[in-house]
Amino acid sequence: MAEYSRMAKGKFTSTGAAQVVNLPFKPDYIEIINYSAVATPANHGVPFAKWDANMGQGFAVEEVFNATPVLTTDIVSSNGFSTFSAGQLLQFGPAKQVVASTKGTTTSFQVTSHGYAVGDVVLFEGLFQSSTTGMPQMNGIPFTVITVTDANNFIVNWNSNNASYTNLSASPASAKVKKILYPYLYFPGASVISAITLGSTTTIDTASAHNFVVGQEVAFHIPSQWGTVELNSLPNILTPGAPVYGYVIAVTDFNTVVVNIDSSAYTAFTTNIAVASVPGLSFPQIAAVGDVNTGGVQISSGSALYPSPQFMPISTTQFSTINGPAVLGSFVNNTSQGFIVGAGAGTNDSSSVLVGANGNVIYWRAMLHDMSIP
């Protein structure tokens, strides 16, 4: 290896769906070992696979077990290995037709062959059933997919269970959804509020991951249509002109935090916004302020000496960014790059799956060479 070549290795447990691996570089060579497929040989299992950039995006060469089982070779021509590099602005997947929706305390959408997974972040547009009905209140809000019901249905965290929302049906022409490919380019930032529980402390639910931590200083920006304007950072009745901030005292999960504000006497929060109010509607938001943000991870006994900042896109699982050490109190630039192990099938064995089956342990190695000779 020459001076500027880069190498990285690691492992993950497959879910059976495409696996994203973030790296501090975009590799030109990738190889994987499916330890589970090697340990228990079975028909259609893929124990080894490789990719070179000269093959093109989405390709792979693989070894696959036949029914004997004996190893043979095959080629993946789509949904194989691919690389990516996020920019400084949001990038989107293809727009897909919304077929129908179902109201509730959470909201379900029918999208044929959506391809989304739990934790993906999606954006809706044109959710009108007619010019005066539908769910346009949800247009333009980043939503984390919290449940994938099946290949054609998924659920997001939004209470549409009121008279202002009308179920979509029969594929309204304007109703589309698209995936935000790299939703956490910078964090923490501002998150759209989906619910507020009032009390001696205040619980905030967000439509997508907030990436806040305990000790975070936060501000609120809530237009009057949504209620709970008393949380807004201005004005301060005690010190006129000074902002009112709160502190995160608990992080329940990726989209729920508790702040130290007594809201017992505040106006209730509501998502019951009339369709007629949608033009010009601003969203209720909670935003990071002050000096204690995600930044770096504390160094302690047993921890890595220079830990990367982490973000929490779903559940309570944290993922390291591609960054080096960060000063506590900084906002994090998380412009992602790396590679994807797809769920593509072989050309000869259409039942093989490159990324393996759910629960398979995959070891990977990725390289970026500083010299490529034709």
**Over the stretch 261-275, which tens digit does the pLDDT of each residue have?**
999 999 999 999 999
Flag whether pLDDT at 190 surpasses 60. yes
Query: By three-state DSSP, how is residue 191 classified?
Result: strand
Task: Report which residue type is found at 316.
Answer: T
Q: Is the pLDDT of residue 159 over 90?
A: yes
User: How far apart are the C-alpha atoms of 137 and 223, rounded to whole Å?
Assistant: 14
At 88, the pLDDT band (50, 70, 90 cuts) reads: confident
User: Measured in whole angstroms, how far is the alpha carbon of residue 288 from the centre of its chain?
Assistant: 19
d(CA 279, CA 311): 33
The values of phi and psi at residue 340, to 5°, are -125, 130
Instruction: Name the band, by pLDDT with cuts 50, 70 and 90, for residue 236.
Output: low
Q: Report the share of the chain in percent with pLDDT over 70.
A: 98
Of 2-11, 135-144, 171-180, give the lowest mean pLDDT range.
2-11
DSSP 308: P
Please tell me whether residue 39 adopts helix, strand or coil conformation. helix
Average confidence score pLDDT of the chain: 92
Q: Where are the domains of the chain?
A: 6-86+337-368, 96-180, 184-334
Contact yes or no for 178/122 (Cβ under 8 A): yes
Q: Which of 166, 151, 34, 26 is closest to 85 using CA atoms? A: 26
pLDDT band, residue 116 (cuts 50/70/90): very high
Mean pLDDT is lowest, of 2-6, 146-150, 168-172, for: 2-6
Q: Which residues pair with 112 in a beta bridge?
A: none
Could you give the CA distance from residue 364 to residue 107 in angstroms, rounded to a whole number? 37
Tokens matching residue 207:
């439509």
Domain range 184-334, its CATH number among 3.40.50.12780, 2.40.30.180, 3.40.50.720, 1.10.3720.10? 2.40.30.180
Instruction: Put residue 139 in one of left, alpha, beta given phi > 0 → left and psi -120 to 50 → alpha.
Output: beta
Contact (Cβ atoms closer than 8 angstroms) between residue 116 and residue 122: yes
Q: Which string of DSSP letters, residue by residue, matches 248-309?
A: EEEEEETTEEEES---TTSPPP-----GGG-TTPPPPEEEEESS--S-SPPP-TTS-SSPPP
Identify the H or E element spanning 35.
Answer: helix 35-39
Are 330 and 293 in contact, with CB atoms under 8 Å apart? yes
Domain topology for 96-180 = Elongation Factor Tu (Ef-tu); domain 3 (2.40.30)
Banded model confidence at residue 1, pLDDT cuts 50, 70, 90: very low
Q: Which of 89-93, 226-230, 247-251 bottoms out in mean pLDDT, i.e. has the lowest?
A: 89-93
For the entire predicted model, the pTM comes to 0.83
Predicted local distance difference test score (pLDDT) of residue 20: 85
Dmax (CA) for the chain in angstroms is 79
Confidence of residue 111 (pLDDT cuts 50, 70, 90): very high
Identical fold at 96-180 and 184-334? yes
Q: Which two tokens stand for residue 334?
A: 């998380």
Nearest in space to 215 (alpha carbons), one of 272, 290, 137? 290
Q: What is the pLDDT of residues 319-360, one digit of tens each?
A: 878 777 787 777 888 877 899 999 999 999 999 999 999 999
- Could you give the CA distance from residue 22 to residue 119 in angstroms, rounded to a whole number? 16
Other Cβ atoms within 10 Å of 214 Cβ, number: 12
